[in-house]
Structure 1
Amino acid sequence: MSMKSSASKVGEFLSRPFHSDGTPTRLHPASLTREASKVAGTYLGPGWAKAMGWLKRYVGPVLATISTLGFVVLGTAVLLWILGASYGWQEAKVAALLATVLLLIAIAFVLGKSMYAVKLDLARTRVAVGEHAVGSIAVENTSPRTVLPAALELPVGLATALFHLPTMKPGEIHEDLFTIPTTRRAVITVGPVRSVRADPLHLLRRQVLWTDPTDLFVHPRTTSLDGPAAGFLKDLEGLTTKDLSNSDIAFHALRDYVPGDDRRHIHWKTTARTGKLMVRQFEETRRSHMAVALSVNTDEYENDDDFELAISAAASLGRQAIKEHRELNVITQRGPIRCETGKNLLDDMTRLLGYNRRGTSVDLARTLTDAVPNASVVFFVVGSKVTPAQLRSAAASVPPGVRAFAVRCFTGAKSARANIADLTVLTLGDLSDLSMVLRKAIA
């Protein structure tokens, strides 16, 4: 076969259609590369995946035991061996031998297998800021022989607690108690408990996980609103409307009886006095429904303490509403907060983070109006940097007939009350003053 005929056949192959629908096309060099990649993936893929799985299973754990200093010593030993062998430097060989001996001694420290049964127990997984969070670690030697002293590490958030285990006989149990600081609202991950084997120079460090991590919720501080403040929030009859009804709770007036009226609503004393049937007429009511709009825009707060005060105030209002079995909605610029139970409310409040690129309180008020159209009482919990003009705009978003309050959180400020149009503005300087501030709202 001539070279010309071979070249023509190659050109014919490259120009012939290859799509399944018969669309004529030419095979581009990039397409050839993709096809080659597909072929390589088809035949090399299983082998590559198997090799990576083997490396991850066997080589990965070995490399994980080597510390940064261990890698430095290992690399130095290899380099010194090469220099000593290449140039005949006896000093390099001696130093390489010393580094190798150190690594072998470190390996002897981390070899072996410990058999423990470890139980991590938190007395409570939900506490309030300032309350004691207590836990315990119980370790049992489940091996048939005595184990040497060892160390256990317990990660607590970003910190790590260290527990020293003594020499333990078979079946012996060692228990340690610990406390966790709860000075700030947070979700703290406690655990997993891990045992650590390391050499004195910490060239190698081998750890084994014994428990699963546990989340500790440090809820925001809340205050009780019992007494006059609870009476202020409680509205068993709901808010009356201007719509008249023949059957409701709020009595409005008497009118003449017309056929079809419920005879149970006939006012017999008036009927006897006037000589004609008179029935009671009522104003329609709606069940009390409280909505809380909590601003998480940090630009509206002077500092972090003001932001925490706002979260605590909103959580206190929400807890009281849930306690009284009232309908409740709590929203922020990040979205709604779960309000099915007090635990859900406080858990979500604990996870809240402040942002300085979210909408303002005015935007939040408009969102609240759309999200909770049937609210009868509205609380705006905001920072001290929110201006009266912004509060006026927020109040303008509230439908007529809805009671609206703004709680300005300013740590250290004196409690006060002011009115901006139909909006009652309450200044809160300390969480313990919340009940008093609410009483001022009805004074």
Structure 2
Amino acid sequence: MGLVTGRGWGLAVSGALMFVLGYWLDYTEPATVGGAAVTAFVVALLVAGWRPKLTVTRSVEPERVERGQSCRVALSVRNDGRFRAVSMVAYDSIDDVRVAVPLQRVRPRKEAVVEYDVPTHRRGVFTLGPLTVGRRDPLGLVKLSRSYGDTGTVWVHPVVHPLYTSPQGVARSMDGQFDRVEHGSLTFHALREYVIGDDLRHVHWRTSARIGELMMRENVDTSLPRVVVLLDDRRGSYRGEGFETACDAAASIIVAALREGLSIALALTSGAVVAAGGRDDYLDALAEARPNEDENALNDTVVRLRHQRLGDTLIYLTGSGRPLETPQLASLRGGHPALLAAVLGPDNPGHTTVSGIPVLGAADGAEFVAAWHGAGAW
């Protein structure tokens, strides 16, 4: 990307006028000065327009970090030119924010490494780079910038507060985990194609005979508990930093449940669902979460959950920006007998019960941890 500065335009235009008028009126001095000015402008274009041969390598450590923790970028800039050293002004970008990169003079076939800290005070997914290298002539007439290297990504996760207990709404299952809901044992889930090593006792012979290839029954153990964290991501539900507190609470519950070996699903009222995976899969989804404007999202999500039934224990996280919508939550009790709501942000109702639903109130993450640990079975 190139840019002629105001000084450059002034010199070029005035020089051209002086040269034309001087030549036309046969005044040697103005024509000479004008010609020199135009020549200086052309030389500035050539100097700033020279493209150095650079190889830029980026490393980010760590790529995933909790909000407020340290994250550092290292940029290795190698001058692949054979004869000229490169002096440059460089900056990196973090989404739309520029970060100055203090690159010094890089000699031919040499490499310079610079590092800088990524600001992690905001939760989110941030794109780093590419590195932009700017050049300008000594007179400041022309500025040119070019991009080098690839981009990187940093996931800034919510803060995970230590929860020392798994969700209290569940009682112990046959495997030593907790589940207040009584279920059967193994139940049919789906059919799939046979792969080498499958137990032939699980072949579904009727379907196999009909389609001409072996089909296997897949069963699931319904005695194992499953927790659903439903995060309200409607903008109108929150005040202040309430949504960030809700994301922190969701992350804390998920990590605690995974530590206890519980199956867990994360659902957002906007429709996103993470029903399996490791810790990073859930926390990445929370890093990507943004408040949305769909005020009917909860109604649509409730209908979907009643049909899908992602789990038996449901924890609803919302903000203090609107009254708790208990009719919608109560309609989920048939499929999710263990139900808990948390209202997060300023002016929350505190620890109470609304229409038979236990409610925790907390202004921030620390209060949520205290409320969680202080809550009895529900």
- TM exceeding 0.5: yes
> Once the 2 structures are TM-superposed, how far is the Cα of residue 415 of structure 1 from its aligned partner?
8.2
What SS does the aligned partner of 2:47 have? helix
> Once the 2 structures are TM-superposed, how far is the Cα of residue 404 of structure 1 from its aligned partner?
0.8
> Against the structure 1 CA distance between its residues 81 and 328, is the aligned structure 2 distance closer, same or farther, given a 3 Å change threshold?
farther
> Against the structure 1 CA distance between its residues 210 and 393, is the aligned structure 2 distance closer, same or farther, given a 3 Å change threshold?
closer
Q: Superposition RMSD on alpha carbons, in Å?
A: 3.4
> Once the 2 structures are TM-superposed, how far is the Cα of residue 382 of structure 1 from its aligned partner?
0.7
Query: What is the alpha-carbon distance in structure 2 between the residues aligned to residue 358 and residue 439 of structure 1?
Result: 32
Equivalent of 2:355 in 421, 432, 440: 421
Equivalent of 2:245 in 300, 306, 309: 309
Query: What is the alpha-carbon distance in structure 1 between the residues aligned to residue 227 and residue 36 of structure 2?
Result: 74
Equivalent of 1:350 in 275, 281, 287: 287
Equivalent of 2:337 in 398, 402, 410: 402
Query: What is the alpha-carbon distance in structure 2 between the residues aligned to residue 209 and residue 172 of structure 1?
Result: 19
TM-score by length of 1: 0.66
> Once the 2 structures are TM-superposed, how far is the Cα of residue 402 of structure 1 from its aligned partner?
0.9
Equivalent of 1:382 in 308, 318, 335: 318
Matched, 1:239 2:165: no
What SS does the aligned partner of 2:283 have? helix
> Once the 2 structures are TM-superposed, how far is the Cα of residue 302 of structure 1 from its aligned partner?
1.5
1:271-294: CA deviations, max 9, x gaps? Answer: xxxxxxxxxxxxx97321111211
What SS does the aligned partner of 2:281 have? helix
Contact 1:331 1:368 in 2 (8 A): no
> 1:431: which partner in 2?
365
> Against the structure 1 CA distance between its residues 214 and 74, is the aligned structure 2 distance closer, same or farther, given a 3 Å change threshold?
farther
Contact 1:109 1:198 in 2 (8 A): yes
Query: What is the alpha-carbon distance in structure 2 between the residues aligned to residue 75 and residue 401 of structure 1?
Result: 75
Contact 2:47 2:137 in 1 (8 A): yes
What SS does the aligned partner of 1:66 have? strand
> Once the 2 structures are TM-superposed, how far is the Cα of residue 95 of structure 1 from its aligned partner?
8.2
Matched, 1:124 2:48: no
Equivalent of 1:198 in 111, 114, 136: 136
Whichever residue aligns with residue 233 of structure 2, its letter is V
Equivalent of 1:177 in 104, 115, 122: 115
Query: What is the alpha-carbon distance in structure 1 between the residues aligned to residue 137 and residue 101 of structure 2?
Result: 17
Contact 1:182 1:218 in 2 (8 A): yes
Query: What is the alpha-carbon distance in structure 1 between the residues aligned to residue 96 and residue 295 of structure 2?
Result: 28
Query: What is the alpha-carbon distance in structure 1 between the residues aligned to residue 273 and residue 4 of structure 2?
Result: 44
> Once the 2 structures are TM-superposed, how far is the Cα of residue 134 of structure 1 from its aligned partner?
1.2
Q: State the identity as a percent.
A: 18
* Equivalence map 1:21-170=2 (5 Å): 64-67=1-4, 69=6, 72-73=9-10, 76=13, 80=17, 84=21, 97=35, 100-170=38-108
Equivalent of 2:236 in 299, 315, 329: 299
1:306-346: CA deviations, max 9, x gaps? Answer: 11111111122222223333222222232123342211111
Whichever residue aligns with residue 336 of structure 1, its letter is A
Matched, 1:320 2:261: no
Whichever residue aligns with residue 187 of structure 1, its letter is V
> Against the structure 1 CA distance between its residues 315 and 401, is the aligned structure 2 distance closer, same or farther, given a 3 Å change threshold?
closer
Query: What is the alpha-carbon distance in structure 2 between the residues aligned to residue 425 and residue 160 of structure 1?
Result: 43
Query: What is the alpha-carbon distance in structure 2 between the residues aligned to residue 70 and residue 114 of structure 1?
Result: 25
Q: Say which is worse superposed, 433-442 or 74-83, in terms of deviation.
A: 74-83
Contact 1:361 1:382 in 2 (8 A): no
Whichever residue aligns with residue 147 of structure 1, its letter is A
Whichever residue aligns with residue 134 of structure 2, its letter is V
Query: What is the alpha-carbon distance in structure 1 between the residues aligned to residue 163 and residue 360 of structure 2?
Result: 16
Whichever residue aligns with residue 163 of structure 1, its letter is V
Contact 2:15 2:36 in 1 (8 A): no
Matched, 1:224 2:162: yes
Whichever residue aligns with residue 404 of structure 1, its letter is L
> Once the 2 structures are TM-superposed, how far is the Cα of residue 406 of structure 1 from its aligned partner?
0.7
> Against the structure 1 CA distance between its residues 123 and 97, is the aligned structure 2 distance closer, same or farther, given a 3 Å change threshold?
same
Q: Specify every segment of 5 or more residues in structure 1 that has no aligned partner in the other structure, as ranges.
A: 1-63, 249-283
What SS does the aligned partner of 1:416 have? coil
1:359-416: CA deviations, max 9, x gaps? Answer: 254554333323x32521111111112314x2244223331661111110014x6883
* Equivalence map 1:246-257=2 (5 Å): none
Contact 1:222 1:315 in 2 (8 A): yes
Equivalent of 1:290 in 227, 241, 249: 227
Contact 2:227 2:264 in 1 (8 A): yes
Query: What is the alpha-carbon distance in structure 2 between the residues aligned to residue 89 and residue 332 of structure 1?
Result: 78
Query: What is the alpha-carbon distance in structure 1 between the residues aligned to residue 22 and residue 59 of structure 2?
Result: 57
Query: What is the alpha-carbon distance in structure 1 between the residues aligned to residue 117 and residue 4 of structure 2?
Result: 30
Contact 2:265 2:310 in 1 (8 A): no
1:129-152: CA deviations, max 9, x gaps? Answer: 110111222223333335043232
> 1:369: which partner in 2?
306
What SS does the aligned partner of 1:118 have? strand
Query: What is the alpha-carbon distance in structure 1 between the residues aligned to residue 163 and residue 249 of structure 2?
Result: 11
What SS does the aligned partner of 1:221 have? coil
> 1:54: which partner in 2?
none
> Once the 2 structures are TM-superposed, how far is the Cα of residue 98 of structure 1 from its aligned partner?
6.2
> Once the 2 structures are TM-superposed, how far is the Cα of residue 127 of structure 1 from its aligned partner?
0.9
Structure showing greater relative contact order (alpha-carbon pairs closer than 8 Å, 6 or more residues apart): 2
Contact 1:73 1:99 in 2 (8 A): no
Q: Across the two proteins, how many residue pairs are aligned to each other?
A: 336
> Against the structure 1 CA distance between its residues 98 and 366, is the aligned structure 2 distance closer, same or farther, given a 3 Å change threshold?
farther
Contact 1:369 1:397 in 2 (8 A): yes
